[in-house]
Amino acid sequence: MSIPSPHAARSESGRHSLTRQDVRTLALAALGGALEFYDFIIFVFFTTVIGQLFFPADTPDWLRQLQAFGLFAAGYLARPLGGIIMAHFGDRSGRKRMFTLSVFMMSLPTLVMGLLPTYATAGYAAPLALLALRVMQGAAVGGEVPGAWVFVSEHVPERRVGLACGTLTAGLTFGILLGSLMATAVNKGLAPADVLAYGWRLPFLVGGVFGFFAVFLRRWLAETPVFEEMRQRRALVQELPLKAALRGHGGAVVVSMLLTWLLTAGIVVVILMTPTLMQNLFKIAPTRTLEASSLATLSLTFGCVAFGLLADRFGPGRALVVGCVALLAATYALYRGVAAAPEHLLGLSALAGFCVGVVGVVPTVMVRAFPAAVRFSGLSFSYNVAYAIFGGLTPLVVTLLMKDHPLAPAHYVAALCCMGLVVAAYLLTAGRTRFAAMDPGVEAQRPG
């Protein structure tokens, strides 16, 4: 017989609403996540400038651009290792410590990037230093995203886990929008020569300063009740947490990795790749596609919250079914609709962005998939490894498919939505009991 968790106690007492403390915790976590994701993503908006400043002037343009994107990709390659290490200590010594450390590890390299000497001053030491800082950023975000999902889900009442994870995911995606708006402001407010001279540094300096502000704010957050109970009961995992997660919860790992693949399809294809694809496929002006991208990202933040609420009301499986069907239809509507009537780009982009909000259901499933003792490690491994593989391969696969199929981006997203429906069917049948509870006891099961 297991001891009920704090979530169980609150559920049994009939309290299903968020307290002021819950709202405060969720707001601070989402704000910190937005600032940290801004720090991670701002690099991509200045890859052209960075390529010009951090590599020799006689380097061919294509090679310079490739090297700059290689530096950006290094951050993604570092995510699994950083996430696994931080998750290990998160399961052994506490969620809060790693939650605060991750934002510090992101803020420091972002600030230093804004102060780095360029190739003209430091030679090859400049790109090497930039590479080291990107690796540190990647390690930080590898711990931040799964750590944030675990942290907020263990703070709120059981029947508000979907809202908590959806809101946190909305905060992360809002960081992408902040990066886009900052890059637009710098490029519109300064002459190209000034951007090269000093303007590119401003977004990094601002991100670093605000990141340290997020570190300060997170000091006010409390350790999760679930972890505190495990510590008091001396129920913390004694062996390597990742080993325990992989040995006893292989099905949870598979489900989490498949849903992460769905997440990468929505974010990478619909949000990040579509602006460039619209320019190439339909000859739409870059300024117009960037406006559509910003609108889609803003809609995504609302969509994450909406689908999180849907998961709380009807269950993650049903919310996933609705979201996958909606995303499939909206993606085809976007590509076919713009091909027939380009003037509808903004409206269709907003609709598609909102439907990508189904990714807000993904962390709700994943945090329920693992028992509390190995939750951070199991989720972090599944998410980061899958994101590194599928997030890295998706642009290449979609680009290659487009040679023969112009609608390949929509086909790719549709295929992953169908896979998501299969996972949803599993959650609604065989996985019903396994993915239903947040109790820290490995054997405990409660009605959701």
- pTM, rounded to two decimals: 0.84
Cα→Cα distances 199→50, 138, 192, Å: 12, 24, 9
Q: Rounded CA gap, 148 and 117, in Å?
A: 33
- What pLDDT does residue 16 have? 63
- What pLDDT does residue 384 have? 93
- What pLDDT does residue 444 have? 36
Per-residue pLDDT for the chain (448 aa), expressed as one digit of tens each?
232 333 443 433 344 678 888 888 888 888 888 988 898 888 878 887 888 899 888 878 778 767 777 787 787 788 888 888 988 888 888 888 887 888 889 999 999 999 999 999 999 999 999 999 999 998 888 888 898 899 999 989 888 999 999 999 999 999 989 988 898 889 889 998 999 999 999 999 999 998 888 888 887 888 888 888 888 887 787 778 888 888 888 899 999 999 999 999 999 899 988 887 888 888 888 778 888 988 999 999 999 999 999 999 999 999 999 999 999 999 999 999 999 999 999 999 999 999 999 999 999 999 999 998 899 999 999 999 998 888 878 888 888 888 888 899 999 999 999 999 999 999 998 765 555 544 333 333 333 3
Q: Which residue has the tokens 């905060």?
A: 171
Tell me the DSSP string of 271-334. Answer: IIIHHHHHHHHH---HHHHHHHHHHHHHHHHHHHHHHHHHHHHH-HHHHHHHHHHHHHHHHHHH
Q: What domains are defined for the chain?
A: 18-236 (1.20.1250.20), 241-437 (1.20.1250.20)
